[in-house]
Amino acid sequence: MQEFARSKGMEVIPLVQTFGHMEFVLKHRPMWSLREMGHCVSTLNPHKEEGFRLVMEMLRQVVELHPGLNTLHIGADEVYMLGEGGESKLWLASPGRTVEQLFLKHVTKVAQAIKEAWPHMTIIMWDDMMRGMTQDTLKASGLVGLVQPMLWDYTPNLDVDTTVSLLEKYCSAGMSELWAASSFKGSTSVYTCVPSTQRHVDNHVQWLQVAASLSAAVNLQGIAITGWQRYDHLSVLCELMHVALPSLAACLQTLDHGQFSAEAQSRVTERLGIPSVEVDAIGRTSADDSLFPGRKLAELTVELDSLLNSEDVRFFENNMYVRGWFSPFQRQREMVSPLITMQIHSQASTYLATLQEKAEAVREEMVRLYPDSTAQEWMEEHVSPVVAPLQKITEDISACLNQMGL
């Protein structure tokens, strides 16, 4: 993958979490003692030397696997419950110490160790834990000159003035080399299956306004167009790559043209061979995947997602006939109307057959592009919760009718 990236003129920058979002490590039993709080699986205890050694070993392994690496992203976002652990409370009991200083102390220690091990390395980190800090706090931390903050905001209505002020604050504190971070998938809701291209394009339009409003002192290095597979290590899958390619293309063209103009839009539709930049509007076609890898799967996913989210299917148990003639009370006592329950059974069976047919088509196509485990998880998260109640109703009706000799 690194060779392919280089062949396209792309530089790979690995991101290794070093403070928050460390669920992937701290979930393991031998690492439990390294958590800041026992029930917060994401945050590293910054007081344990063993935790620091763990972080440095992870960084060493990643650097070793990336020959010629020049830049590292050390994460450090969303360090939840920092300061709540016993050792942190003891540390904070000393006069003048704050949670902000505790955060900066650990990150500075990591950044200094990286510079000692790899003096040439540029270090990027997420900015959110520093947003409420004063310039003086940042200056006194020793972090200035070691890292380049990356400010993230994924919302379509990003506040331009507030974001500009924040970037200018970092610059005034001595951190003039800064990054932005947007999103082309994810960031809508934790369980979204199909992204809205317009929502993500709007986010990039706002970022363009931010870039145009900055003073000359701010050296904006670039923008990271993030694409989420999950909100965190322990959350469910959100939008997968195959449904998000039109959004990625639209966001790239927006940045390239300075706006999502008609020209930018036509570039996307022509290059991908699709009639619309919204993946849920491209429709079912006989076109191959040559211009748009995963197009067939995207079309099938949109169809299935639409069915799964239709009120008639998702809330079948709440329809008038089920609630009126096949309630839990009636099922338990087998006090049912055969005629109406047969109609309910027929409708539920029709929905089930359609769902299972479409789900199988998605699964067959998905395993061509993703590991079996991903396909299985996606099905169990999105399809099974809708199918199971329908299956239960058909089984219960069959059992009732059987007891009635029908």
Q: According to the model, what pLDDT value does residue 45 have?
A: 98
Q: Do residues 308 and 382 touch, judged by C-beta distance below 8 A?
A: yes
pLDDT value, residue 287: 59
* Choice among 214-228, 294-308, 368-382, 392-406 with the minimum mean pLDDT: 392-406
* Three-class SS state of 184: strand
Residue keyed to tokens 């079948």: 316
The answer to whether 399 touches 329, Cβ cutoff 8 Å, is no
Residues 154-194: pLDDT tens digits?
999 999 999 999 999 999 999 999 999 999 999 999 999 99
Q: Write down the domain spans for the chain.
A: 1-236, 310-404
Question: For 226-275, what is each residue's pLDDT tens digit?
Answer: 999 999 999 999 999 999 999 999 999 999 999 999 999 999 999 998 99
> What is the pLDDT at residue 289?
61
pLDDT digits (tens, 9 = 90+) for 23-39: 999 999 999 999 999 99
- Alpha carbons within 13 angstroms on the beta-carbon side of residue 208 total 17
Q: For the purposes of burial, counting CB atoms within 10 Å of the CB of 57, is it exposed (0-12), middle (13-18) or buried (19 or more)?
A: exposed
Name the 3-class secondary structure at 380: helix
Q: What's the pLDDT at 156?
A: 97
- 64 tagged catalytic: no
Share of the chain above pLDDT 70, in %: 98
pLDDT for 399 equals: 87
**Structural contact between residues 213 and 171, judged by C-beta atoms closer than 8 angstroms:** no
- Confidence band, pLDDT 50/70/90 cuts, at residue 286: low
Q: DSSP assignment of 278-313, as one string?
A: SGGGS---S--SSSSTTHHHHHHHHHHHHHHT-HHH
The Cβ-side half-sphere exposure at 190, using a 13 Å CA radius, reads 7
Q: Which residues contact 3 (CB under 8 A, 6 or more apart)?
A: none
What is 1-236's CATH topology? TIM Barrel (3.20.20)
Contact at 8 Å (CB) between 211 and 260? no
pLDDT at 290: 67
Helix axis angle for 338-369 and 295-308, nearest 10°, is 150
* pLDDT top residue among 272 and 288: 272
Structure tokens at 48: 């344990």
How far is it, in rounded angstroms, from Cα 166 to Cα 315? 45
pLDDT of 59 above 90: yes
Angle, alpha carbons 121-28-235 (nearest 5°): 80
Catalytic hit among 11, 36, 50, 78: 78
State the chain's mean pLDDT as an integer.
94
Q: What is the pLDDT of residue 285?
A: 66
What pLDDT, on the 0 to 100 scale, is given for residue 214? 95
Q: Rounded CA gap, 11 and 217, in Å? A: 26
